[in-house]
């Protein structure tokens, strides 16, 4: 059996204000660092063997803090970086609604059809994370693998693992410093835990509906 733990980075400087980050690279907030510390303490119970992380600062810093609790150095993996939001990058959600109303509606209502001008589509992200997951299945059989990533790649990985169409992209909760657990056994994937945040206590902040 292979156990995959999908971990969203802790709160970044842009999360509380609702700003699209994409490949831009804000740091964690002080609350985010505290969230990452609680996350690391929580994940000790899962006996993680290897910890992969997106190269962006908000993910790498989360992985570094978590890894310190686990006694593991995080491994940087480009394929699990955030989606490239293209022209939306750095804009607030309200600004995107005004400047790109039709594209925003597609993003919310039909995400599988979304393509960010100057950036990526969900299918682009699905392709690269699926390639990574297939490698993980071969390389880490019988192990527990932690993956520190972002909302879009995590939801795409859940769709890929559970063989669910991208039209269900928004069906998965994915809050800051949350984790989800998927077991791969006997040719099937079982979602055992989704968007776990109970370890955060008063530091929990609900994720923005459009990010």
**What pLDDT, on a 0 to 100 scale, did the predictor assign at position 187?**
81
**What pLDDT, on a 0 to 100 scale, did the predictor assign at position 186?**
82
Pair of tokens at residue 100:
């790109």
For this structure, is 69 an active site residue?
A: no
> Strand 75-76 and strand 50-53: pairing?
parallel
Give the C-alpha separation, 150 to 153, whole Å.
Answer: 6
Among the options 85, 150, 168, 199, which is catalytic?
A: 150
Q: What are the tens digits of pLDDT across the range 137-170? A: 999 999 999 999 999 999 999 999 999 999 999 9
Q: What are the tens digits of pLDDT across the range 21-33? A: 999 999 999 999 9
| CA nearest to 133, candidates 81, 80, 62, 56 | 80
Give the C-alpha separation, 36 to 28, whole Å.
Answer: 9
For this structure, is 150 an active site residue?
A: yes
Q: Specify the 3-state DSSP secondary structure of 70.
A: helix
| CA nearest to 6, candidates 44, 61, 43 | 43
pTM value? 0.98
Residues of the chain under the 70 pLDDT cut: none
Pair of tokens at residue 203:
């530091």
Distance of CA 86 to the CA centre of its chain: 18
Give the C-alpha separation, 60 to 36, whole Å.
Answer: 11
Q: Print the SS3 string covering 117-169.
A: CCCCEHHHHHHHHHHHHHHHHHHCCCCEEEEEECHHHHHHHHHHHHCCCHHHH
**What pLDDT, on a 0 to 100 scale, did the predictor assign at position 77?**
98
> Strand 179-185 and strand 75-76: pairing?
unpaired
Fold of 2-133+143-203: Rossmann fold (3.40.50)
């Amino acid at each position: 059996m292979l156990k995959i733990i999908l971990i969203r980075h802790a709160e970044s400087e842009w999360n509380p204000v609702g700003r699209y980050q994409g490949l831009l690279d804000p740091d964690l907030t002080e609350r985010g660092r505290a969230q990452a510390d609680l996350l690391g303490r929580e994940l000790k119970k899962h006996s993680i063997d290897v910890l992969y992380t997106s190269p962006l600062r908000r993910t790498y810093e989360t992985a570094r803090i978590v890894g310190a609790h686990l006694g593991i150095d995080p491994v940087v993996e480009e394929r699990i970086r955030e989606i490239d939001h293209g022209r939306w990058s750095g804009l607030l959600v309200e600004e995107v609604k005004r400047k790109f109303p039709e594209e925003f509606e597609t993003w919310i209502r039909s995400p599988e059809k979304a393509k960010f001008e100057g950036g990526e589509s969900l299918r682009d992200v699905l392709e690269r994370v699926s390639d990574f997951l297939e490698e993980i299945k071969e390389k880490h059989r019988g192990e527990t693998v932690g993956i520190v990533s972002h909302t879009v790649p995590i939801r795409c990985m859940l769709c890929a693992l559970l063989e669910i169409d991208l039209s269900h992209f928004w069906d998965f909760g994915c809050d800051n410093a949350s984790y989800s657990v998927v077991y791969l056994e006997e040719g099937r994937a079982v979602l055992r835990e989704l968007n776990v945040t109970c370890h955060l206590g008063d530091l929990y902040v609900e994720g923005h509906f459009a990010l």
